[in-house]
Each structure stands twice: as structure tokens, then as C-alpha cells.
Amino acid sequence: MTRGFLSTLAGVLLLAALLVATVISLWQGDRMERRQLALDKRLQLVEKQLEEGVSLGSSGSRSGSATRGGIFGAAEPDYVTAALSDPSNALSRDPSPWLPPEAKAGGTLLLQLSSDPKGLNYVAENGADVSRIETFNQLGMISRHRKDPTRFGPALAYHLKIEDDYKTFTYKMRQDIYWHQPAVDLSDERFTWLKGDHQVTATDVVFQLDMILNKDVTGAAASRSYLNEVESYEALDEFTFRIKFKKKLYTNLSTIVPGIGPTPEFLYAFDEDGQRYSEDIIGARFQDHWYNPNALGCGPYRFVSYEPGVAITLERDPRHPMGGNAFDKVIYQILKDQTSWPRKLRTGELSLSVLQPAQYRAEVVEGTEQSPFKDGSLEGGEYWAFGFYYIGWNADRPWFSDKKVRWAMSHAFNAQGILDDVFMGLGTRSTGPIASFLPYYNSDLTPIPFDLDKAAALLDQAGWVDTNDNGLRDKTINGQVVEFDFTLIVYGGGDEYLTMGNIFKEDLAQIGVKMNVQPLDWAVHLKKKDERDYDAMTLAWATGTEVDFHQIWHSSQADVPKGSNYVGFRNAEADKIIDAMRAEFEFDERVRLSRDFHKLIYDEQPYTFFYTKKRVLYWQDELKNVWFALTRPQENHRPWYLSEQ
């Protein structure tokens, strides 16, 4: 009986304890739910205030200066601050912030592209249009100071140690950078593997180099040409990356080290169902990846959408901790008809636009005083673009393997007349593969004059004569009679190049050469170049403050699929100068070597060099802090903001 009573009492006490525990649990659960709701509201407030350019102190009050977040950057982690005071760090803080203190958050920046990009995979595509998107969307490991590009500053990496006589470089990476959410439908069960946060780590940098060095990634051929002296690279831990080179080369420091960045392995190493590609096929699958029509980065603006023929839309990433993203959205409209650009600028459908030469003539030179391009309604400016424009001659075609013929083409091209009359004098003649305002440029070389008699004489010397009296020059090559009848591909997005081509065509006809002019959309133009499916074409190279000729001119690059030496230039003496210049650190000697190389290229005329361009731009008055960078991209819009939304 006693045992039964005790058993009953124990059961009652246990039931009471369970009841109390249940009540406490319900009370705690309700309390936690209320706390979670309050925390959600608090996080929403923090996000809103970060977007407005402020941060919260411990009391919730607004604070300014170095702790400002959002468009001015979040409070800097202590480990970054300490590292930037380390004497062994090759990176230093840029004294020029992205945005001035008076900058405002908000509004939409309306820009334009003249054609649809081939794809938005930043490793497999390297066109200028893709680079413009990348500037907003992605981060590199390090940056150059905005007002002094000779100095390196932090970006994804906050510390760079240089050892072993410029052969070993070790990066320490920030731990608060995340990849944006991929632009897929996450409600589709097929993409559940992409949900969640994905931190940017050193393995993403390893993955990028793996893809660049994979020969099946044909679009990375130009980048791959810089990495032939890499000895090893590795992720030492989650946020430390090291690369070693076999030799001490100037390009290690000037080109490769600043150019390294991450590529999201969690996305590009997998097929659409989340299955990892095997090592034997990953390069080919990466080149033609299922996600390539979209972009994915870890920079200040995240990719939202791309509608071919319409627009590419980006929006501010509120979690990005480094600022420089004042606009709510950035929209690149696809405007293939360049004649529409001034009209859309007038109506406010564009925030900014370059004026093509014909537009400059109509709106500025011949425009009335009431024109918004002249009455102060629009702001304007200009800058000299790094790079040069040219006609490239395919040396593997029968007409252009002889330099006498290439010189004849240059004499037959009325470069100065076309620059003055068609391109409205917006540039200066160029004689070689360097922007004409850089110290590396050989100013002793004079532009080749327009001279049809000289051109005809050179063709005679090269054996191109009219043997059958049909009005066209011809030559017997390997037993076959070849007529001098070729096609020049010109950029189809603007009337100037078609006009230029037709003038050239008429002049060549006077000396017995038939040239067909073929305007092409930019994507098709690039495809023809990559496949070497052309006789001659108009193109341009965008360059920078540093000079390295290996990618474009070294003989080793002449037969690389999709490589940059697509004119097939092969010259042993040029190779020696290129190799010597890569190993030279002394500025004066680099200048001497560069000018020697310039002279050699001038003598060979693999290109008919045209001009270095002066870009004239106009923008809406409410667009503020507009200035043009000293390095590519010169139209870097991150310091800009809108005074009114």
C-alpha cells in the first residue's frame, strides 16, 4: 500500500512538473517570438539606415565619419585597420573615397550598350561591354588608387605581402564578402542547391586560375598568355591565397597580381542540377556554362536580369561593406541604333552618353544656341581614351603576308582626312600599339601619309599587277592566280565606320584593288575575329598606364585559339624585345625598349594604325561628382551620384 501511494504521488508530481515545464516553454516561446519580431524590425531599421549612409551606435543613434555604412562603406573590421598599418603590407589606404560626404543614396543610373554581350562570364568573355558590367558587379583582389594608379589599395584582399624578389605574393582576404544570390528561380526545386549564403574564399581565387589555365576555356586565352611563368598557386587557408612565379618579371607586379580575382566555384563548377563536373570536362562546360547569359559577382551592385535586345539591370547590394554604390539601380539599355543616344539624353532616358562624331557635329558644332548640348542644360566633358584604333591585316591570308602590301594599304588609307572629316577631329593620329600620350610612345615616328602613287608602286614591287587587263591586280601564289579582292569588316553600330570603309574602298579601286565593306554587329564581329574568319577588320585596343606587348604581339600567341595575336604576327626580334621588357623593372630602360618595339611594329605594319580617341560625353545636370579615372575603366561610375531622385 505504501509502495502504491508513493507510486501515485510520484506520478502526480511528475505530471505537475510536466505541466509547469509546458507553461514555462510556452511563455518562453511566446517571449522568443516577440523578441524575434523585435529583432526583425531592428534589422530592417539597420538595413534602411545603412542604405541611407549611416550606422547605428550601441544606443541606436546615428553616427558619422569612419563608421558610416551603406553607400559610404560599413565600419572597417579591426583586422583590416591593423593590416593597413603593417609596414610589410604592399597595400595602402586610398586617400580618395569613392563618394564625397554630401553624396545621396537613390535613383537609377541609365546607361547604354551598343549591342548585346556574347555572355556575362567574366573569365570566358573579355569584351569591353562585359568589363563595364563587371566594374559594378564584381570585386578584384586589390585595386589601384583612384588618383594615383601607381599605388595599390585594398579590395577583396586587405593585405599583400611580396617576397622572394617579386616571385611570391600572399594575399589575406576579407571575411565579410559574400557572393550575390544567383539569378535563378529559387522556388524551383531544381535550384535548391543554390540557396543560402556563399562566402567568398581563397578557393574561389584558385578556381578562377584553374579555369584560366584550362585550355578548354578558350575565352580565357588572352588572360592565359600572362600566366606561363606561374610556378604554383594555392589556398593556404580559407582566406589566404598565395601565388608563386618561376621568374622575377615586371608583369608579375604590374599586370597579374592586380588582375587576380575570384570566380564562384559553388556555381560554375556544377551543372544545372547541382552535380559537380568531372575534371576532364569542367573546362568545356565552364566555357559554355548554363549560367553564362547571367552575371554573378560579389561587388557593390548585384545582377538582377538580362533581357536580350532590351536591357541589363543591376541593383545596389545593401550587404556590400565597401561603399561606392549610391544608385538604387543601374540599367544598361541595349541601344544598337546609336543615332538614338542624343535624343534619349535630351528626354532623360539616358543619364550619360558619349557623342559619336556625326552627333558631335550635329549637336555641338552645328547645333543652335538653344540646344541642351550648348545652353547648359546638360553637363559635358572629355578625356583621352587609353588605347588606339586600327585596321588589322590577317597575315595568314594571301594578300597580307608581305609587309610591302601592308605598307601599301597604309599609304592608301586616308587616315588624316577621315579623322578630320568623318571623325570630326576627335583624336590624334597614332603610329603604333600604345596610347599616343604615354611616355612609352615613340614620338619620333611620323604618321604614314596618304599617297596612292606610293601605294601602287609598293604593290608592283610585291608582285601584285593586273596580268589579264580586268582592272584588278592579281598574283600567282602556289600555282593559283589570286585576284586582289578582299573584305574589310567594319563595326556596324555607327555610320562613321561604314563611311570610312567606303572612302577606303573608293581609293583602293583607283589602284586596282577591290575591297568589299561588311558592317557587322559587335558580337558577330568578335566571333569572326576569334575564329580568324576575316581578311581585314577595324578594331581597337583599350590599354592602360602600363605596357606589355606579349598578349597581342608575341609569336607564341599567334596560333592560340581565340588569342589576341589574331593577325598572325610572328617576329623573332619582336619576341626578344617583349621578353626583355617583361623582365625589366627600371622605368627608363622600359621606355627605351618600348620605343624600339614601337619602331619595329611601325616598320612591319601588321596594323594600319589610325588614331587615339578623344571621348566627348554629356550627362544630366543632376548627376554629380562626375570625373574620369586614370585607369580602365575610365568611365567608372562608382563615385557618381544623383542630387535629385
Better-predicted residue by pLDDT, 400 or 254:
400
pLDDT tier for residue 58 given thresholds of 50, 70 and 90? very low
Q: What is the mean pLDDT of residues 498-512?
A: 98
Better-predicted residue by pLDDT, 46 or 573:
573
Q: Is the pLDDT of residue 478 over 50?
A: yes
pLDDT tier for residue 387 given thresholds of 50, 70 and 90? confident
Of 19-28, 313-322, 408-417, 535-544, least confident by mean pLDDT is 19-28
- The two beta strands, 485-491 and 514-520, are parallel
Predicted TM-score (pTM) of this structure: 0.80
Q: What is the mean pLDDT of residues 157-174?
A: 96
**561, 218 Cβ separation under 8 angstroms:** yes
pLDDT tier for residue 544 given thresholds of 50, 70 and 90? confident
Of 2-11, 217-226, 447-456, 464-473, least confident by mean pLDDT is 2-11
Q: Is the pLDDT of residue 602 over 80?
A: yes
Q: CA-based Rg of the chain, rounded to a whole angstrom?
A: 30
- List the one residue out of 507, 514, 502, 504 whose CA is nearest residue 473: 514
Sequence-separated (6 or more) residues with CB below 8 Å from residue 332: 111, 112, 113, 132, 133, 311, 312, 313, 314
- Position 645 scores a pLDDT of 55
**pLDDT tens-digit readout, 490-502:** 998 778 999 999 9
DSSP H helices in 221-281: 221-224, 250-251, 257-259, 265-268
Label residues 18-41 b or e (16+ Cβ within 10 Å = b).
eeeeeeeeeeeeeeeeeeeeeeee
Of 278-282, 305-309, 357-361, least confident by mean pLDDT is 357-361
Count CB-CB contacts under 10 A for residue 450.
Answer: 17
**pLDDT tens-digit readout, 249-282:** 998 988 888 899 999 999 999 999 999 999 999 9
Distances (CA, A) of 55 to 45, 98, 302, 515: 10, 18, 22, 64
Q: Is the peptide bond before 633 cis (omega within 30 degrees of 0)?
A: yes
pLDDT tier for residue 451 given thresholds of 50, 70 and 90? very high
pLDDT tier for residue 627 given thresholds of 50, 70 and 90? confident
Q: Which residue type sits at 114?
A: S
CATH superfamily of this structure's domain 392-615 = Dipeptide-binding Protein; Domain 3 (3.10.105.10)
Task: Report d(CA 74, CA 70) in Å as an integer.
Answer: 6
- List the one residue out of 160, 612, 136 whose CA is nearest residue 330: 136
In the CATH hierarchy, which top-level class contains the domain 78-334+621-642? alpha beta
Better-predicted residue by pLDDT, 438 or 334:
334
The 3 state secondary structure assigned to 506-535 is: HHHHCCCCEEEEEEECHHHHHHHHHCCCCC
pLDDT tier for residue 20 given thresholds of 50, 70 and 90? very low
Cell numbers 565600419 correspond to what residue?
75
Percent of residues, the chain, with pLDDT higher than 90:
75
262: helix, strand or coil: coil
- List the one residue out of 441, 456, 406, 437 whose CA is nearest residue 604: 406
**431, 602 Cβ separation under 8 angstroms:** yes
Task: Report d(CA 590, CA 156) in Å as an integer.
Answer: 30
